[in-house]
């Protein structure tokens, strides 16, 4: 994607009541994955499933790639974890498996065709870079006290400055480390995803049920909050949010959220699985297709935008 595009994936929304007339029924082509999602799939604007790989384990992160293929992370909790690369026909190209029983929930594309994993165990936490063939080429141990390896990282992201950025899931904060793993900044919010915008700001996801500052919070370079989707903002839209996992910031500033287990119930009883919210906090787009009603769509990427995901780091 272009330099003005920031990707980040996956969200949980629990009980949503919103006036459908308030949203403009637009459409996107998108990739879904997530915990209990039944595997990665590409969805056409009309809701047709173009490609699907049935998979039952935890797929926290997934990306559509410039060659039409897909990469996704997998975790089987203390059994195996890693990254899977698929071609454009959804055939397996390679599998990277973590060593020493480490957990992983990330697979960010990097310039040059590689990918970033965020690995954790009781021995510590690491940013691990994988090359285009699924081989480990770099490992950085980061300053972090690991309390629960299975709930340390979800999405970890490398920035164009070469730093590493990630929320600590069970500590509800976001850390940024330098290329050697030293903590250089901490943000007082974060649960699942954090991304660096092209303007240098940082966006994190949190838990609006318990944090008034915001389920989605944008900080400037000095750590000041400049924009947020707070608990009050969601309530004005008729949304009751249990937890924000991931998000995709579009070039126009809109934020796309997808939800998992509980779904999003409207006043008419419909179930929204994806919602798009504008910068001025209006509901723009939603997905209420019944084929997704029993699935967790905890990971989403809007893919009908020109460019490559790794271009965001250039």
Res 3 pLDDT > 50: no
| pLDDT tens readout for residues 28-79 | 999 988 777 788 999 999 889 999 999 888 899 999 999 999 999 999 877 8
Alpha-carbon span 97 to 312, nearest angstrom = 26
pLDDT value of position 241: 64
Is the Cβ–Cβ distance between 100 and 87 less than 8 Å? Answer: no
Summarised one tens digit per residue, pLDDT across range 146-172 is 989 989 999 999 999 999 999 998 888
**What's the pLDDT score for residue 8?**
37
Taking phi first (over 0 means left), then psi (-120 to 50 degrees means alpha), and beta for anything else, what does residue 2 get?
beta
Mean pLDDT value of segment 121-138 = 97
pLDDT (0 to 100) of residue 37: 79
Q: Calculate what percentage of the chain has a pLDDT beyond 70.
A: 82
Does position 270 have pLDDT exceeding 80, yes or no? Answer: no
Domains and CATH numbers, the chain: 20-313 (2.120.10.30)
Entry pTM: 0.87
Task: Tell me the average pLDDT across 1-17.
Answer: 36
Kindly state the DSSP code that residue 35 receives in the 8-state scheme.
T
Q: Which range, of 120-124, 151-155, 301-305, averages the lowest pLDDT?
A: 301-305
Residue 113 and residue 132 in contact, taking contact as beta carbons nearer than 8 Å: yes
Cα–Cα distance for residue pair 74/102, rounded to 1 Å? 12
């Amino acid at each position: 994607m272009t330099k003005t595009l920031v990707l980040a994936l996956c969200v949980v929304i629990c009980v949503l009541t919103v006036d459908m007339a308030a949203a403009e029924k637009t459409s996107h082509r998108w990739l879904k994955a997530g915990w209990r999602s039944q595997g990665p799939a590409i969805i056409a604007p009309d809701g047709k499933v173009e490609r699907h790989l049935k998979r039952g384990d935890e797929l926290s992160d997934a990306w559509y790639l410039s060659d039409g293929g897909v990469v996704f992370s997998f975790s089987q909790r203390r059994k195996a974890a890693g990254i899977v690369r698929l071609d454009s026909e959804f055939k397996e190209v390679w599998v990277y498996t973590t060593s020493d029983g480490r957990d992983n929930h990330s697979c960010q594309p990097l310039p040059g065709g590689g990918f970033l994993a965020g690995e954790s165990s009781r021995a510590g936490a690491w940013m691990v870079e994988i090359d285009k063939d699924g081989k480990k080429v770099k490992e950085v141990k980061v300053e972090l006290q690991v309390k629960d390896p299975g709930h340390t990282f979800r999405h970890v992201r490398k920035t164009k400055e070469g730093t590493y950025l990630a929320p600590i899931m069970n500590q509800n904060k976001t850390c940024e480390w330098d290329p050697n793993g030293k903590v250089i900044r901490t943000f007082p919010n974060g649960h699942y995803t954090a991304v660096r915008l092209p303007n240098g700001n940082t966006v994190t996801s949190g838990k609006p049920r318990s944090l008034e500052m915001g389920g989605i919070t944008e900080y400037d370079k000095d750590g000041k909050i400049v924009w947020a989707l707070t608990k009050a903002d969601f309530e004005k839209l008729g949304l009751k949010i249990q937890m924000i996992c991931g998000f995709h910031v579009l070039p126009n500033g809109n934020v796309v959220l997808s939800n998992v287990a509980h779904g999003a119930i409207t006043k008419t009883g419909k179930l929204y699985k994806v919602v798009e919210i504008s910068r001025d906090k209006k509901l723009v787009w939603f997905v209420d297709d019944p084929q997704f009603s029993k699935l967790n769509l905890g990971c989403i990427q809007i893919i009908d935008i020109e460019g490559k995901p790794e271009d965001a780091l250039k």
